[in-house]
Chain A
Amino acid sequence: MTTLSQLLDQVRAAISDSEPLCIVGGNSKRHLGREPAGSPIEVADYAGVVEYEPTELVVSVRAGTTVRDLQEILAGEGQTLACDPPEFDGNATIGGSLACSQSGPSRPWYGSIRDHVLGVRLINGKGEHLRFGGQVMKNVAGYDVSRLQAGAMGTYGLLTEVTLKVLPKPDSSMTVRRRIDANEAIRAMNEISMTPTPLTGACWCDGDMYLRLSGPGTVVEAAASGLEGERLAHSAAFWTALRDQASPFFESAKDLWRFSVRSNSLHSKPQNDWLIDWGGAQRWLAGQHDGDELENISASSGGEVTRNRGGDRNAEGLPSLSGAKRALLMRMKQAFDPAGVFNPGRLYSWM
């Protein structure tokens, strides 16, 4: 069992020795970002629920708590962390999921993990344990340092505790599948998203579009009756595999790119291997491609592309930045981690 004081001691020692640290939770997202460097600081054992008040729809957990354990605890009260982050064989932690901004197939309708964050505690690069945000739904006191951590991959501090908003778990779900090409699917997913339908998933892969509806039985039934396609009797496994990036598309992809784009943007490079999720707003491309070409495509689709898996991990993997933004991110790094001990080079080679 790791204690907070052990984590603090290790960070303080690293600061005084100028020894870089590599923050490790469940080690389920080691494929993300650039090559990890530094001596590991293990957070996985700093786990457990700090406070859970179901009537408040709020839970606080230590950062090493796994997503799976938390979801089980919440399910016991009929609740769920609705952004449904990948569990990655049960190893993914809440701290890591927030740091890497991981959300599941329901993200367009329930929001991302950052949308569910109410507050955090973190150790900054001065070795101080600080609290930002809180346990209430609305809080605008001070800058939003909690949600800033989403996507920072630990470079702005080591998360020790996260407070999240939770929601009632829907009574039932139903999935409708329809054979359709990618262009048609993008159009169909956007069209249905314009209507008040209880959608919680909209994905296209391998020539099929999958629409998931969730809510009370009568509501789901009424919405499904208006949809064309085949109702799937057992669909939970499909959505779990999609969430955990473990479906055949992901299993066979050695190199993987992730696009975040305007949901109705045109389908590009159609001869390639794509999986389209989030109603068109998140698109996965498998295989080796020219990074500049992909950046051009993402820019014309109102979005960005990130290398997710494979490729040269010593090269930059995140979207390229303007000089001004790069300078700002670096000044922010100085503000949180002046000695540069947390995950150096993991996000950008220069930070």
Chain B
Amino acid sequence: MFREFVEENFVLSNTESKRPFECDGLSVYKEMPRLVVMPGSTEQVQKAMRLCQRHDVPVVVRGAGTGLSGGALPHADGVLLSLTRLSRIIEIDPEARLARVQPGVRNLEISEASDAHGLFYAPDPSSQIACSIGGNVAENAGGVHCLKYGLTVHNVLQITIVTVDGEILTVGNEGLDSAGPDLMALMIGSEGMLGVVTEITVKLLPKPSHCQVVLASFDDIESAGDAVSAVIADGIVPAGFEMMDRSAIRAAEAYAHAGYDTNAAALLLCELDGTAEEVQAEIGKVVTVFEKYRASSVHVSRDEEERALYWKGRKSAFPAIGRISPDYYCMDGTIPRRMLSRVLSGIDQLSTEFDLRVANVFHAGDGNMHPLILFDESKPGELEKTEAFGAKILELCVEVGGCITGEHGVGVEKLQQMLIQFNDPELAQLNAVKDAWDPQGLLNPGKGVPTLKRCQEYRSL
């Protein structure tokens, strides 16, 4: 029936053509959808939603499929709605500093298209070459630069939504504020459970004229963690502030040859941007703090080439770790910065307890940890052991005042940890929000927020 309004070759029903859609970036979860539908316009999305609603068919919306929480895992009885064909940049208004785009546009494409005007789109998740802006909206994607420039929710002006019953809603506007309850904030990060976003207007920022990075090595991880807090306490908001531990440093250096000190216990990358005067002044302060916290070496990038090299190691850390372990599992807990040392040593203990290696690469500036648990899926029971280890890490994050996910989303993998984060009345309130948008529960069922029935099952475990 979808073929009545979507071109024949964009409705996929045979197993082989559906195969690429069976999982997202969290490939331990796989499911074959009943049908893959690839609409080419907002009208086609509307018709698809109406049809699914009429026949009570679940719908899972997918962008580029780079998500790390199984948020785009298909439903066996449902339609997988792939928005990759909606890939047009509709408008760039450099003077008003905004871009109007379709959801399938890749994150990096927006910055590339604005570059000639000296502008860029700030949120830059690691997957920015591949990930789509629609997916970024669904997950409230962050990235390396969000300490200074904010998350997706801080950089979107307007969105067009197709609701579960095929209605079109516009939320926000091309100005900065919108009257009434902030439905835009609610939609951003709602993991495809409230509506389908078919158009997005994002904010563009002027590119800073200067940018330099300070690379520092430390002999112990606690000093590095304390140095992070000290820089921020000194009144500096770095554009990016990243930390890696020894396992991550070694893997990244072997892969990218970025010039990292492989004997260091921890490494910090602190990027500063702004006018020439601003950057000079801040570099001086950062170097002083790093020396005070006994950094074993401190390098300031001399030119763009060196800055790119220092970042190359960090940016390739995940694939680099992929080379030293058959599989890895990436966690996403976020904690108050001052708890860094405590949580890192907690993870270290758990690593011994579970007998699984961990590499830590993370956004230290905003406390967003990405412990990578190294495991081998082919060994019986090891995936289960890894998941149990991951759950313990998230519990630890909540215990110190943090949260279970900073930017990857709950998806299918963290449903159970939602019960640590929220109590039953809070979960009931979240479910009531879901019901207001999607009373039949057709949009991305079984993700994001556990239903009350599942809560009871989990709590009785």
| Chain A interface (Cβ < 8 Å from any Cβ of B) | 53-58, 78, 101, 103, 107-108, 111-112, 114-115, 124, 126, 128, 130-132, 134-152, 155-156, 167-168, 190-191, 193-198, 215-216, 218-219, 222-223, 259-265, 278, 281-282, 301-304, 306, 318-319, 322, 324-325, 328-329, 331-332, 334-336, 347-348
- Inter-chain CA distance A139–B140, complex, in Å, is 9
Given A140-B408, A282-B177: A262 in contact with B190 (beta carbons within 8 A): no
Q: Mark B391-424, 1 if CB is under 8 A from A, else 0.
A: 0000000000111111111100010001001100
| B406 to A: closest C-beta gap in Å | 4
Q: Which residue from B174, B180, B407 sits with its C-beta under 8 Å from A138? A: B407
Given A53-B338, A144-B186, A262-B174, 16 other A-B residues pairs in contact with their CB atoms under 8 A: A55-B233, A103-B177, A130-B425, A136-B336, A136-B401, A138-B146, A140-B409, A142-B418, A191-B95, A262-B93, A264-B93, A302-B174, A303-B174, A328-B437, A329-B183, A332-B433
Q: Which residue from A135, A138, A143 sits with its C-beta under 8 Å from B151? A: A138
At the interface with chain A, which of B25-33, B47-55, B162-170? B162-170
Asked whether, in the complex, the Cβ of B96 is within 8 Å of the Cβ of A190, the reply is yes
Asked whether, in the complex, the Cβ of B163 is within 8 Å of the Cβ of A152, the reply is no
Q: Which residue of B lies closest to A278 (CB)?
A: B176
Q: List 19 A-B contacts (CB under 8 A).
A: A55-B337, A56-B336, A111-B150, A114-B182, A115-B154, A124-B429, A131-B422, A136-B334, A142-B426, A144-B140, A148-B186, A150-B181, A155-B181, A318-B180, A322-B169, A328-B437, A329-B181, A332-B436, A335-B429
Which residues of chain A come closer than 8 Å to B20, judged between CB atoms? none
Q: Mark B445-458, 1 if CB is under 8 A from A, else 0.
A: 00011000000000
At the interface with chain A, which of B253-261, B273-281, B294-302, B347-355? B273-281
At the interface with chain A, which of B8-16, B76-84, B202-210? B202-210
Asked whether, in the complex, the Cβ of B402 is within 8 Å of the Cβ of A332, the reply is no
| Chain B interface (Cβ < 8 Å from any Cβ of A) | 93-98, 117-119, 139-140, 142, 146-147, 150-151, 153-154, 163, 167-169, 173-183, 185-186, 188-190, 194, 206-209, 229-230, 232-233, 235-237, 274-275, 277-278, 281, 334-338, 363, 366-368, 401-410, 414, 418, 421-422, 425-426, 429-430, 432-437, 448-449
- Inter-chain CA distance A114–B156, complex, in Å, is 13
Asked whether, in the complex, the Cβ of A261 is within 8 Å of the Cβ of B175, the reply is yes
Which residues of chain B come closer than 8 Å to A101, judged between CB atoms? 177, 182
Q: Which residue from A103, A193, A304 sits with its C-beta under 8 Å from B206? A: A193
- Inter-chain CA distance A145–B182, complex, in Å, is 9
Which residues of chain B come closer than 8 Å to A329, judged between CB atoms? 180-181, 183
| B405 to A: closest C-beta gap in Å | 5
Asked whether, in the complex, the Cβ of A324 is within 8 Å of the Cβ of B167, the reply is yes
- Inter-chain CA distance A114–B230, complex, in Å, is 27
Q: Which residue from B277, B401, B421, B425 sits with its C-beta under 8 Å from A218? A: B277
Asked whether, in the complex, the Cβ of A219 is within 8 Å of the Cβ of B278, the reply is yes
- Inter-chain CA distance A111–B146, complex, in Å, is 13
- Inter-chain CA distance A130–B422, complex, in Å, is 9
| A171 to B: closest C-beta gap in Å | 9
Given A137-B368, A262-B93: A142 in contact with B180 (beta carbons within 8 A): no
- Inter-chain CA distance A151–B449, complex, in Å, is 25
- Inter-chain CA distance A215–B237, complex, in Å, is 12
Asked whether, in the complex, the Cβ of B336 is within 8 Å of the Cβ of A331, the reply is no
Which residues of chain B come closer than 8 Å to A136, judged between CB atoms? 334-336, 366-368, 401-403, 406
Asked whether, in the complex, the Cβ of A156 is within 8 Å of the Cβ of B208, the reply is no
Given A139-B403, A264-B93: A331 in contact with B430 (beta carbons within 8 A): no
Asked whether, in the complex, the Cβ of B185 is within 8 Å of the Cβ of A137, the reply is no
Asked whether, in the complex, the Cβ of B168 is within 8 Å of the Cβ of A143, the reply is no
Q: Which residue from A111, A148, A261, A347 sits with its C-beta under 8 Å from B154? A: A111
Asked whether, in the complex, the Cβ of B401 is within 8 Å of the Cβ of A137, the reply is no
Q: Which residue from B96, B275, B363, B435 sits with its C-beta under 8 Å from A263? A: B96
Which residues of chain A come closer than 8 Å to B117, judged between CB atoms? 194
Asked whether, in the complex, the Cβ of B207 is within 8 Å of the Cβ of A57, the reply is no
Asked whether, in the complex, the Cβ of A168 is within 8 Å of the Cβ of B236, the reply is yes
Asked whether, in the complex, the Cβ of B336 is within 8 Å of the Cβ of A328, the reply is no
Asked whether, in the complex, the Cβ of A319 is within 8 Å of the Cβ of B179, the reply is yes
Q: Which residue from B151, B189, B236, B275 sits with its C-beta under 8 Å from A219? A: B275
- Inter-chain CA distance A70–B436, complex, in Å, is 36
Q: Which residue of B lies closest to A194 (CB)?
A: B206
Asked whether, in the complex, the Cβ of A190 is within 8 Å of the Cβ of B95, the reply is yes
- Inter-chain CA distance A124–B139, complex, in Å, is 26
| B127 to A: closest C-beta gap in Å | 15
